[in-house]
Amino acid sequence: MQPVHLIILTHGLYGSSQNLTAVKEELINLSSPLPSSPSSSGPKSRPLETVVYLPTGIKGPRTWDGIDVCAHRIVEEIDKEIERLEDDGKDVVGFSVMGYSLGGLISRYMIGILHSRQPSFFSRHKPISFSTAATPHLGVLKYGTLTNTVVHTVGRQLFSRTGRQIYSLDKEPQWGGRVLLELMADPDHVFVQALKLFPKVMIIANGCQDNTVPYPTASISSFDPFQDASSVHVETDDDHIVQSYRKVEYPDPEDLPVDHSRDADEDGEDVQIQIKVIKNPMSSVPNEWKGRRRQPLPPPFMLFPWPFNYMLFLIFPLLLPFILVYVTTVITLHNFHSRKRIRTHRDSIEQRPLLVPSSVSLADTIENTTRELKDTLSSSVRESTSLDGTSSPPLSDPVEHSKVAPLLLTSAQKTMIRNLNNAISHAERVVSWFPWAYNSHAMLICRDTKRFPWQEDGRGVVRKWTKFVYDAGLHGLNGPEAEGGSVEIHGRTES
């Protein structure tokens, strides 16, 4: 049978598979066959085929139904996709997961469902790579500011069951009185045990300007070295990926050299000398960075041609009451339909509950099957995942900031950080840098470059992400001399 590397690509909250068009395109670009190495003996093996599957059952408000509910829906789609591939004479020998934003949390729950099967899903389909981009692994963060408190208070009322889960308000009986995110980070439960099976892991986070998923929760970190852009000097490559950073050291005024030749004026009277130190040399960073400038208006207004966009911006305060009424009505309807779908889902899965504690012997068995994959990692990859903090730092060194909002982590979130980082200590962290963006959350994946052309700046991050996953399949399943194959998207083969 044709060997296949199946990649599951999951979108975020209130999104759709269209949001990941750029990611899909880059995976297709990687599908062109590589020149094979001459072999002195033995038959030539069939080239590995990469199949990318984008779930369709959690589009739009259906993502509000809960992380667990969305994961169950995707698992059903995965089973059908694997059955379809087998009917076409293809064997899924490798399995990778890519999750964007909320899709990363859904993916973590999804692999827990698959691993809880008897026998485990991964005893038949080798885990290859697990990666997330701008995923709120710790849930929604809280900062010690009035604005954040208001947003936190309002936000927890939105997005139905998913909203309660990401705000850690879902202490349901099925979780033993714990919140879901805390359970998903427990090393004694199936979710972390499933995550540990993947030999290649990548965590991508925006270093700044991500107003949806800030750096600490996306990178699973207890601090944010980039919270104050004026206090750090950041070096990036051409793809806007952080290569190194250091704290900006300002000189002590007492240590500055003083020219005493003009201490007195022409009449011999003393002249008072005042030394001024510029403490914010990077104040222009939010508006301009290496030739990139922020758009003059927020993205929604840039959809309209000039001068209508400026006219709309000026009259926006008058339209705000009508917009709020419309948004409130839509949210209320979505919450109502979400509750109905959740009840239907619970009835359908009542007879097949998730096995939360995973068998230790089963985990050991699966880990043995993936040990060979871990050994295939090249030395260059191992170096890139070291904790030296010099290139795409996995966990950045703390940087003391002045006059910034304190990050208020709960005890549960601190435990999540410790447990998850222990589970994926081999993960490669990538930090992107888009200080000129209004919100870098969408730019990270080039979510809609047709309407917002400046999001194309995120193309380099997308290429790095997709190459990581694609190469993991080639190296992990066929070795470093593997041939590339075609990429199939929803049953279509594109080359």
Q: Transcribe 107-120 into DSSP letters.
A: HHHHHHHHHTSSS-
Angle, in degrees to the nearest 10, between helices 67-87 and 102-115: 60
Does residue 404 carry a pLDDT above 80? Answer: no
Residues 168-190: pLDDT tens digits?
998 888 777 889 999 999 999 99
Higher pLDDT among residues 377 and 29, named by residue: 29
Q: Which of 81-90, 304-313, 394-403 has the lowest mean pLDDT?
A: 394-403
Distance of CA 147 to the CA centre of its chain: 24
487-489 vs 242-247, strand pairing mode: unpaired
Close Cβ partners of 450 (under 8 Å, ≥ 6 residues apart): none
Closest CA to 246 of 400, 384, 386, 387: 400
At residue 453, the 3 state secondary structure works out as: helix
pLDDT of the residue at 380: 31
Residue 316's pLDDT is 77
| Lowest mean pLDDT, pick from 12-16, 323-327, 382-386, 452-456 | 382-386
Q: What is the pLDDT of residue 490?
A: 53
Name 270's bridge partners: 264
Residues 263-279 as b or e (16 or more Cβ within 10 Å = b): eeeeeeeeeeeeeeeee
Q: Output 283 or 99, whichever has higher pLDDT.
A: 99
Beta strand pairing call for 49-53 and 487-489: parallel
Q: How does residue 280 score in pLDDT terms, banded at 50, 70 and 90?
A: very low
Residues 382, 96: Cα–Cα separation, whole Å:
19
Q: How far is CA 338 from CA 12, 69, 160, 161, 404, in A?
A: 16, 11, 7, 8, 38
Question: In the predicted model, what is the mean pLDDT of residues 346-359?
Answer: 54
Structure confidence at residue 410 (pLDDT): 92
pLDDT given at position 254: 63
Q: In what order do the strands lie in the sheet with 90-100?
A: 428-432, 200-206, 126-133, 90-100, 2-10, 49-53, 487-489, 492-494
- For the stretch 195-212, pLDDT in tens is 999 999 999 999 999 989
* Dist. CA 200–CA 374, nearest whole Å: 8
Tell me the mean pLDDT in the region 311-329: 82
**Residue with more model confidence, 470 or 250:** 470
pLDDT of the residue at 363:
46
Task: Write down the H helix ranges in 143-245.
Answer: 146-155, 160-166, 180-184, 190-195, 215-219
Give residue 263's pLDDT: 57
Between 247 and 14, where is the model more confident? Answer: 14
Exposure on the CB side of residue 234, measured as CA atoms within 13 A: 29
Helix (H, G, I), strand (E, B) or coil at 264: strand
> Confidence band (pLDDT; 50, 70, 90) for 227?
confident
Pick the more confident residue, 269 or 342.
342
Give the pLDDT of residue 479: 56
Question: Comparing 296 with 234, which gets the higher pLDDT?
Answer: 234
Q: So what's the pLDDT on residue 319?
A: 79
Strand partners, 473: none
Higher pLDDT, 331 or 57: 57
Q: Is the confidence at residue 224, as pLDDT, over 80?
A: yes
Per-residue confidence (pLDDT) for residue 309, from 0 to 100: 74
The pLDDT, as a whole number, for residue 165 is 94
What is the pairing mode between strands 90-100 and 126-133? parallel
| CA 387 and chain centroid, separation | 20
What mean pLDDT is reported for the chain?
79
Question: Does residue 474 register a pLDDT over 70?
Answer: yes
Residue ranges covered by each domain of the chain: 2-34+47-257+333-494
Q: What's the full length of the chain, in residues?
A: 495
Contact 206, 213 (CB under 8 A): yes
User: How many angstroms separate the Cα of 490 from the Cα of each of 211, 307, 469, 494?
Assistant: 32, 42, 18, 10
Per residue in 66-118, pLDDT tens? 999 999 999 999 999 999 999 999 999 999 999 999 999 999 999 999 999 99
CB atoms within 10 A of CB 44: 8
Report how far residue 234's alpha carbon sits from residue 431's, in angstroms, rounded to the nearest whole number: 11
pLDDT of residue 462: 97
Tell me 178's DSSP state: S
Confidence of residue 271 (pLDDT cuts 50, 70, 90): low
Mean pLDDT of 445-471: 94
Element (H, E) at 21: helix 21-29
Q: Which residues pair with 234 in a beta bridge?
A: 245
Which of 113, 111, 104, 107 has its CA nearest to residue 126? 111
Residue type for position 2 = Q
Q: Give the Cα separation of 46 and 430 in Å (integer).
A: 33
